[in-house]
Amino acid sequence: MLVVCLACIISLFTFKDYGVAYDEPLQRDIGLISYNYIIGGNDSLFRFHDRDHGVAFEVPLIAIEKILKLTDSRDVYLMRHIATHLFYLLGVFCSYILLLKLYKKQSIAIIGMLLILCHPRIYAHSFFNTKDLPFLTACTISFLTLYISIEKQRWQYTALHAAICAYATAIRILGIMLPAITILMMICMVIINRKENMGKKVLSIGLYILLFLLFLWMFWPLMWQQPILHFAETWQSLSKFRWGGTVLFMGDVYAATAIPRHYLPVWIAISTPIIYLIAPTIAIASTLVMSIVQPNKLFKDVPLLYGFVFAVFTILPIAYIIYIHAVVYDDWRHVYFTYPAIVIVTCYLLYRWHHRLAGKLLLVFIGVQITITVYDMIKLHPYQQVYFNALAPNEPEYLRHKYEMEYWGTSYKEALEYILATDKKENIKVYGLWPMVENNMLILPPVQRKRIIRAWREDSPDYFVTVFRGHPADYTDLGIVCYEKHLQNNTIMRIYKMH
C-alpha cells in the first residue's frame, strides 16, 4: 500500500510533464460519440468509421470531463492523463493483493507489484495510452476477481468477476480470453472438488456466462443494436485492422500489414529490462514443463494451476497474433496486457524456489534490476516509452535508424515550450509531423497556445520539429538545428530554425 501511495504522490507532481500522444484526440472522439449516443440517442455511432473500438474506458473519461465542466483542452488532457495513471495504479495494487493471496508471502507480492510498476515503457504509457494500458489494468483486476470468485464460491463474487471481464472486453475485444480462462478454471475446480455439490458449480458457470454477456452488452453501446453482427465485425477487424502506415523495424521499413513474424518477440526482448526477461522465461518454461510432465499435479497444487493458466494467457495471444498475421505496430504495446500474467508466473517461480539458494539469488537479481530500472526511468522522464535494454546496441543514433523511438510524439510538448520560451514573437509558425503539433498545442496554457500557428512547409514556417517518425535520417534542407533531445545515445526530437 505504501508503494502505491508513493507512486500516487509522485504522479501528482509529474503528470503534467507528459505531452499529448498521437492517438489521444481520436480516442477522445471515439468516447464522445458513444457518450452522445448514450445521453442523447445520437445514432451517428453506427456510421462512425472507428465504431469497432471499445469505449468502456473512454466513456467514463468523457463523463468526468462533463461532470467537472472542463472546457479548455489543457484541463481535459491533464485530467485524462492523471485519471488513466490512477486507474493503472489501482491495477498495480490489485496485483499485490492477488500475489499475496496466491503465494502468502509479502516479499513475493511486493516484488511482483514492483515488476509491474517499474517497466519503463508501460509506466510512460500509463499516462497517455487510453487503449492498451486500461486494458492491461482491467485484465489485472480480473485476475484478482477470478481468484476471489473461485475461493468464495458466492454469486455476488461471480457477478463482480463477470462485470470486470466484460469491462475489459469492452475496452479491447481480446478480453474475450478472460471468460475462456475463467471457464477453464471453474472446470478445473469442479474436478478438484468433485466430491462437493457438482450442480451448484455447474450452475455457477452458467450464471457467469450469462452475466458476462449481459454486462458486455451494457458496457459497449455499439452492441445495443445488432450485437452479434457488431461483435463479429469487431473481431474481424482484429486481424485486418485499418492502419495502412509503415513501421521501421531492424533498419527496414515494412507495411503494418506485412511485418515479419518475429516483430513482437524482438520488440519484447529489446525493450524490457534484462532480468525481467530471464526470470519469466525460466518461470514459464518450467511451469509448462511441470504441467505437461505431471498433469495430475495441476489438480492438487492450486498455485501450479494458476501458474499454468497465466502462462497460457501469456503465450496464446502472442502466438495467435503471430499466427493470423494480425496488424501490429509501434513496439509490443498491443500485447502489453500479457505482462501482468508474465509477472504472476514469475512470482510462482519465486514461490516454488523460495527455500532454495537459486530462489534467493533470483530475488536479489530482480531487486537489483528493479533498482537500476527505476534509475533509468528517472533519467528518461518523461519519455520512458523510448527505453531499450542492453540487447540493443548503444552506438550513437543506432536505435533511431533501426527502430521507431518517439513514435507517440509527446516530446512535441517540450519542443513547443522551448520555442515559446526562446522566441518572443507574438505569433510563431511551427511545422511538424501531423498531428503531433496540433495535439501538443492542446495541452499548452491558452495564452501560449494562441502564439503558435500550425504551419506547413509552403507557409514559410519559423520552425520545423521532428521525432523522426517515417524519416529516421537527418534533415539537411530545413534550416539549422536549434534544439534537440538526446536519450539513450540517440536523438528522439529535434527543432530546426528555418529562417
358 CB-near residues (< 8 Å, 6+ apart): none
Give me the average pLDDT of each 10-residue run along the chain (499 residues).
92 97 95 95 88 94 97 98 98 97 95 97 98 97 96 92 98 95 88 71 90 97 93 80 82 89 96 96 94 85 91 93 86 96 96 91 96 98 97 94 95 98 95 95 97 94 95 89 96 93
Contact 223, 217 (CB under 8 A): yes
pLDDT tens digits, 140-165:
999 999 999 999 888 999 999 999 99
In 3D, which of 58, 4, 2, 5 has the Cα closest to residue 30?
58
Question: Of 471, 349, 322, whose CA–CA distance to 99 is shortest?
Answer: 349
- What pLDDT, in 10s, does the model give residues 420-464? 999 999 999 999 999 999 999 999 999 999 999 999 999 999 999
- pLDDT per residue as tens digits for the range 359-394: 899 999 999 999 999 999 999 999 999 999 999 999
Nearest to 84 by CA among 57, 65, 63: 57
Q: How far is the C-alpha of 490 from the C-alpha of 329, rounded, in Å?
A: 21
Cell of 132: 492498451
